[in-house]
Amino acid sequence: MKTEALLEQICEAVREAGELIRSSHSVEEVKAKEGAANFVTKYDSMVQKFLIERLTALVPDASFIGEEDGYSEGRIAEGKTFIIDPIDGTTNFICGFPVCGICVGLAERGRAEIGVVYNPYREELFAARRGGGAFLNGKPIKLADHRLSEGVLCMDTAPYTPEIRKESFERLLKLSYLCMDMRSVGSAALSICYVACGRSAAYLSPRLCVWDYAAASVILTEAGGMITGWDGNELGLTTGVSVLTGTPKAHQEILDSKILD
């Protein structure tokens, strides 16, 4: 199947998965996972299971990495690997805060080639394939190269790693003087997509897993944005990494500030 047609099929599967979330009337069976304030619901597992079944039908030889049910131990295969976060923003979902993303990335030979991120509550679907541009609900997106002072900075607050929270907030305080204002969306994937479509100038997190950013990274880079580690180096597709994204100007401004050193 050609990449463009495959992207369309993945988008269809993700939209259907969104119906599972939107049809939920109450959040049941909340369980704690490893780390502070880290939770999973039956809907996380339900959505991931649904996506694995649908995506396997599309690409039978693909491997899978996912946040739930043991798939987090998977590794990027030499061939094709789907990288899934069924609900990026589970805490938002539990609290009835309607901001979360269903994320599907497809890597081939260790490089992310396709990315789809969908917020079912706003019915916003971000999608991209490498070399094919980025889209929001089918319309092309290309970010304006704003400086940090011309936009908001989205950030994470290290909810799962409280031992680094004080240091993170100290850095964020310094960065707050360089931007218009700051936001914590509660979904890494959506925060990255918001840079891609021009809603924010930059986003950073002290620690992300590969399923948090893999899909969104394709959307961002195809829209003209930057994604690296806090040291400015390429990320690859790894877990437990600090992530910095932004417009080219905002990204470089943050690196030049040395605040993340």
pLDDT digits (tens, 9 = 90+) for 151-172: 999 999 877 788 888 999 999 9
CA dist 129 → 44, 133, 141, 218, 219 (Å): 25, 6, 13, 7, 8
Tens-place pLDDT, residues 89-133:
988 988 889 999 999 999 999 999 999 999 999 999 999 999 999
Name the token pair of 194.
């918001």
Q: Name, in order, each residue with C-beta under 8 angstroms of 96's C-beta and a sequence gap of 6 or more.
A: 27
- Residues of the chain with pLDDT > 90, as a percent, come to 75
Domain boundary among 141, 160, 187: 141
pLDDT at 24: 73
DSSP state of 245: E
Is a pLDDT exceeding 60 seen at residue 28?
no
Short-list 87, 143, 116, 118, CA closest to 218: 116
**End position of a domain, from candidates 93, 121, 141:** 141
Question: In the prediction, which pLDDT does 168 show?
Answer: 92
Q: Which comes out higher in pLDDT, residue 44 or 74?
A: 44
Residue 12: which CATH number?
Answer: 3.30.540.10
The residues, ordered by sequence, that sit 6+ positions from 244 with a Cβ below 8 Å of its Cβ are 202, 203, 204, 226, 227, 228, 229, 230, 232, 251, 254, 255, 260
Same domain for 171 and 238? yes
78 vs 7, more confident: 7
Q: What is the pLDDT of residue 86?
A: 96
Q: What residues contact 223, with CB distance under 8 A and at least 6 apart? A: 128, 133, 134, 141, 142, 143, 196, 197
Residues in the chain: 261
- Global pTM value: 0.93
Q: Same structural domain for residues 161 and 244?
A: yes
Q: Are residues 204 and 227 in the same domain?
A: yes
121 and 240, same structural domain? no
Q: Are the C-beta atoms of residues 80 and 108 closer than 8 Å to each other?
A: yes
Identity of the amino acid at 17? A
176 and 125 in one domain? Answer: no
Q: Which residue has the higher pLDDT, 75 or 137?
A: 137
Full residue range of the structural domain in which residue 46 is found: 3-141
Same domain (yes/no): 161, 242: yes
Give the SS3 label for residue 117. Answer: strand
Same domain, 217 and 159: yes
**Predicted pLDDT of residue 72:** 67
- Kindly report the CATH number assigned to the domain that includes residue 158: 3.40.190.80
Q: Collapse the DSSP code of 209 into the 3-class scheme (helix H, G, I; strand E, B; otherwise coil) and give the result.
A: coil
CB contact at 8 A, 12 and 127? no
- Same domain assignment for residues 12 and 125: yes
C-alpha span between 160 and 162 (Å, rounded): 6
pLDDT band at 141 (very low <50, low <70, confident <90, very high): very high
**Would you state the pLDDT for residue 161?**
82
Instruction: Report d(CA 147, CA 125) in Å as an integer.
Output: 26
Asked if 127 and 236 sit in the same domain, the reply is no
User: What is the mean predicted confidence (pLDDT) over 137-157?
Assistant: 96
Running DSSP on this structure, what letter comes out for residue 168? H
- How many domains does one find in the chain? 2
Q: How far apart are CA 237 and CA 42, in angstroms?
A: 27
Structure tokens at 20: 């599972």
